[in-house]
A and B are shown apart, each in its own frame.
Chain A
Amino acid sequence: MILESRLALAERTTNQPGAPTDWVHQHYDDIYRFLKHLTRHTETAEDLAQQTFVQACQAIQNFRGDSSLKTWLHRIAFREYIAWRRKRKVTLPLDILRGRRDPAIEQVDDRVTLLGLLHQLPSGQRESFLMYEVQQLSIEEISTVTGVKPGTIKSHLHYARQKLQSLLNEAHQENPR
């Protein structure tokens, strides 16, 4: 992006009090939805979404305009999610885990849902699927958000679809209704 454009962007986003709130109006739903599907926890998704926008406001000077604002915000949100995921990791004996549900995860539906199945997939596949299918980001944009090569993302999507279908078939066999 040429210097003038960057300056204009900086001015637009930092000097006009309404600009950051415009981001919220335009992108909050997307970012919240993204984080909600990743975390499956409403409060956490709201927390992380808030941090995403607050960080975006603070880091606007670093926004080079190489990607769209939507992609940039997704990138920040994804980093927030990764940080959250690392921090909430706990190590438990398997016999404790068996039959228990992490109380930090609310509203986990026992019924067979797409989101439930997605969370049985490896994280890379799940994240790629959510970004591509739900958030409707392109392969290149997902690559920008995650830092993963486009070829790998295509592979994730392929295997995600394959495994989802397999899981669906299993679920139907267990519960034909």
Chain B
Amino acid sequence: MNIDQEIQKLREEMPRPEAKGELIRTIQYRHQEKHTLKTIGKIGIPVALVAGAAMAATFFFAPTRALATPATVAKAIRSARDYVIRSFSIQGGKRTLISQTNVDGEKATRTYFDAEGKPVPESELPNISTNPLEGALIKLEGDEHSGQKHIVVTDSNGPEPKAGQQTIEVKVTRDQNGNEVRKYVVNGKEVDKLPAELEGKVHVNQSAGGQIEVEVNGSKEGSRSVTRKQASTVMVDKNGKITSFSSGKTTVEYLLKLLDDADRWNIERKVTFNGEQLDKFTLKGPFSPIELYVDPSTSLPKVLRFNAPMNGKSAAQIEDVYEYGTDTIPAR
């Protein structure tokens, strides 16, 4: 072995090409918006919600001429056939395209864009299925906290911001047989098993042992930004099943689930949005992390906007814009 040559090899080692773009997105997001969250995991792309929004947006079965309601919107979503959803981050008045999803029937194709706006094929993204899912299944609430490693997640059970905060520390040791032993520190108390109420909502994948501190900003915007990759934070359903962002269907179900509960929504009629008269759907409560703009004549979603609350006001946004193909035009 030639030491000088080996040193030169070490000097030439490079990171993944995508890693820099992911970090830049994170920093831009934090820096420009002065976001209160401490970290936004590793990803950058609000994939899961994007997918859900996408499906939600497009499917659309021509509703009647009756006023758009959560039920008619849900029906439209379920009936939609082809559409394109473009997902933008809005920071400091600047809109940046972060992904585009083309849906044709059951097939959805999504392309991500890096910080420079160059398309990143999904095939080049780290495959979440290659990551061992060894994290804790936890439900997280709260606004923010600081720590060694932050993963912004959100309660998959609903989009409303919730008060309080929850810090989960995962301690990994090994028993005499070399088997991994996990203990969780919940609110300062070490337990062998997560409390039942914390299970089954959000999966936090721990890559290398040590401590995970999770910060939750009850905003869906925050969770969108955290969906994948090394420090994998993925949303799961009640049964702990991962909501794969490759299909996005589970996220659609997530949105549909919200729509299925009509009592959760406020509706403003004929709100002017981008020059159009649309129906604005928001969730009841002091702050709605979702704004859904619906075409009143078709009940088709036009724009789904996710707001990150900051001191009770909107601080950052992800905006999914839907464009429908001819197959989606409702037969009326």
Q: A residues touching B (Cβ–Cβ < 8 Å)?
A: 17, 20-21, 24-25, 28-29, 32-33, 36-37, 41-47, 49-51, 53-54, 57, 83-84, 87-88, 90-93, 96, 100, 104, 112-115, 130, 133-134, 136, 164, 168, 171
A53/B174 in contact, CB under 8 A: no
Q: Which residues of the partner chain B approach A17 to less than 8 Å between Cβ atoms? A: 28, 31-32, 92
Give the contact-size bracket for chain B.
35 or more
Question: Across the interface, do B148 and A21 meet the contact criterion of CB distance under 8 Å?
Answer: no
B7 touches A134 (CB 8 A): yes
Kindly specify which of B12-20, B63-71, B98-106, B215-223 makes contact with the partner chain. Answer: B12-20
Q: How far is the CA of A88 from the CA of B32 in the complex (A)?
A: 34
What chain B residues lie within 8 Å of A114 (beta carbons)?
A: 1, 3, 6-7, 9-10
Does the CB pair B211–A46 fall under 8 Å?
no
Q: Which residues of B contact A21 (CB under 8 A)?
A: 24, 27-28, 115
Q: Check B149 for interface membership: any CB of A closer than 8 A.
A: yes
Determine whether B242 belongs to the interface, using a CB cutoff of 8 Å to chain A.
no
Q: Which residues of A contact B11 (CB under 8 A)?
A: 33, 134, 136
For the complex formed, measure the closest distance between the CB of B207 and the CB atoms of chain A, giving whole angstroms: 4
Which listed residue, B42, B177, B208, touches A50 by the CB 8 Å rule? Answer: B42
Q: Are the C-beta atoms of B209 and A47 separated by less than 8 Å?
A: no
Cβ–Cβ contact A87 & B148, under 8 A: yes
Q: How far is the CB of B93 from chain A (nearest CB, A)?
A: 11
Extra contacts besides A25-B20, A49-B19 (19): CB < 8 Å: A21-B27, A24-B24, A28-B23, A41-B208, A42-B230, A44-B208, A47-B207, A47-B230, A49-B23, A50-B22, A54-B39, A88-B209, A90-B174, A91-B173, A96-B176, A104-B209, A114-B3, A114-B10, A134-B11
Q: Is B178 an interface residue (CB 8 A)?
A: yes
Tell me how far the C-beta of B177 lies from the nearest C-beta in chain A, rounded to whole angstroms. Answer: 8
Q: Which residues does chain B contribute within 8 Å of A171, judged by CB atoms?
A: 1
**B residues less than 8 Å from A88 (CB atoms):** 208-210
**Cβ of B78 < 8 Å from any Cβ of A?**
no
Restricting to B267-310, which residues have a CB under 8 Å from any CB of A?
A: none
A83 to chain B, nearest CB (A): 6
What is the CA–CA distance of A147 and B11 in the complex, to the nearest angstrom? 24
Interface centre among B13, B16, B27, B172 (most CB of A within 10 A): B27
Task: List A contacts of B6 (CB < 8 A).
Answer: 113-115
A90 x B173 contact (CB < 8 A): yes
